[in-house]
Each structure stands twice: as C-alpha cells, then as structure tokens.
Amino acid sequence: MTGELSRYCDMTWEDVERAAKDDRVVLVPVGTVEQHGPHLPVDTDNRIAEAFCTAAEQHCRENTCLVAPTVGFGLSQHLADFPGAVFHTSHVFVDVLTEVFASYASSGFRRVLALNAHGSNVAPLDLATKEALHRHPGHQFASVSWWELSDVRDVVARSGPPSQASHACAFETSIMLTSAPEMVRLDKVVPGQPYPDSAHVWRDLFGRRPEPTHRNPVRLTEMWSSWSDNGVRGDPRDATAELGEAMLEAGGKELAAIIDELRGRPLRDARRNDPPRHKEGEP
C-alpha cells in the first residue's frame, strides 16, 4: 500500500482524524512476552503478529487499513515456570484489550481487527470484542489468529513439515527466519520432547490430528516445565525461511481480503435498545 501513512504511531492527530473519516480498519497486532525455547527471543509472538500485519499492509488497497501499536503482554501464566514471561492476569488483560479497542472507537474509527499470535489470547480477545461492542454499538470489533487463516493452512498443507505446530516449532521459527533472521540462534535449534498426548489431549495450531484415531481435543492447560526441559513443542529443525515467506505472503493477502470484507459490511446497531414492555393485561 502506498500513499497515505499506514502506521498509527507515524501520524499526527490530524492524520488520525483523516484516517478515521476514511473509514480505515485499525489492524492491531496482539502477542505476548514469554520463553520460546533456546533459539528464539522472548518477544517472538509480538514479532510474528507484527510481521503478518506488515504483510497485510503491503497488500491492502490504499487508505483502507492502519497498523496500530502492538498489544505486547498477554496471558502467559502457564509458561511462567521458565524465566522471561511478562503477562497480565486474565481479567486485567480483557480490560486492557477492551480499553484499547474502545480508544480507537473514541478517536472515530468504526472497525478494529486484532491479529493474534499467541494461543492463550484467543479467549480474552473474544471477550474484549464483545465488551467493546457493548460500549460502542454500531462498530465492528473482530479478531483472528494467524494460524486460523485458511490460506496459511493451505500453504502448510502443501509445503509444511509434518512436525507439530505449537510453540517455538518449525512454523514459528520459519516466520522468524524470514522476518527477523538475525534473532534466530541457529546453533541453539533443538527439538522439543514429545508431548504426552492421548485421544483427547493433543494440540496442533492447524488442527492436524497426530493420528486419525485422535478425537476433538479438550482444553487442558499444564505448566510447561512439567513435561518440557527446553520450552519447545514441535521440531524447529524443520524450519525454512521459504516456508515462513510463503505463510506470510498468504496470510497478508488473506488479511487484506478480510479488511475489504469488513469495510464492505454495513455497520449494524442494535434494533432493540429499549427494555421489553409487557402486553396489556400481563403482570
């Protein structure tokens, strides 16, 4: 995208006012700070969220999106047994996200899309979009995680390794190899220990079952060090910059399409704001 400024923090207040009048979608990267194995920095999720937003910015039509500052601390309690985690408690994080979304609405923006890069942020983001909508009816507040994007999943199905997609894995490492290669410590790349999965206890970012007999997984949270010595889940030795580039390219195009879709969707206000009235003769 060329022309007008597309980064929120590069703007003056007059630029922001004009961008809101243009009905731009505010694209908010959301991540966290936590261990990512011995080979990736603790801000990996933030960097990945920002990389996808940058890719989307490059594919968006002029004056349709605006990349916001990163919401950089999320929910990482289950990884706090390794040094490095900086996180909010769950109720504070929902409040932070709600306040951030509502702030953009107060500045005149009517459409906000959060791009998430951390699994434990999914539920708080869903709650925050609902809370922000309650404060600002007639607006759009949406969220999506990069691994949920259909075109990214298609790339993985065609070109990705079969190793588990989870944490400091081949897929996160691939994105870092193409977006911030200087931050990847190649001499420290080691596989994670096998996660003790079972029919209903397993996880893969792309929903790929370890075995055809595995069922839909339950949501089970365990402290990371209870089964891992190095913090890795998956095998980052399968990572390549080419895979990372393909995922970012596909994800950027799909996010740009989502932004167009949101801008084309009419803003809907509630039709029943009044309290229900009893019919005559009813108690």
How confident is the model at residue 283, as a pLDDT? 47
Distance CA 258, CA 191 (A): 35
Average pLDDT on 77-100 reads: 98
Structure tokens at 220: 């089970």
Percent pLDDT > 70 in the chain is 94
Quote the mean pLDDT of the chain. 95
Q: Is the pLDDT of residue 281 over 60?
A: no
How confident is the model at residue 271, as a pLDDT? 75
Domain boundaries, the chain: 8-264
Class of domain 8-264: alpha beta
DSSP alpha helix (H) spans, the chain: 13-21, 44-59, 90-106, 122-135, 150-159, 170-179, 241-264
Distance CA 82, CA 72 (A): 18
Task: Dump pLDDT digits (tens) for 207-240.
Answer: 999 999 999 999 999 999 999 999 999 999 999 9
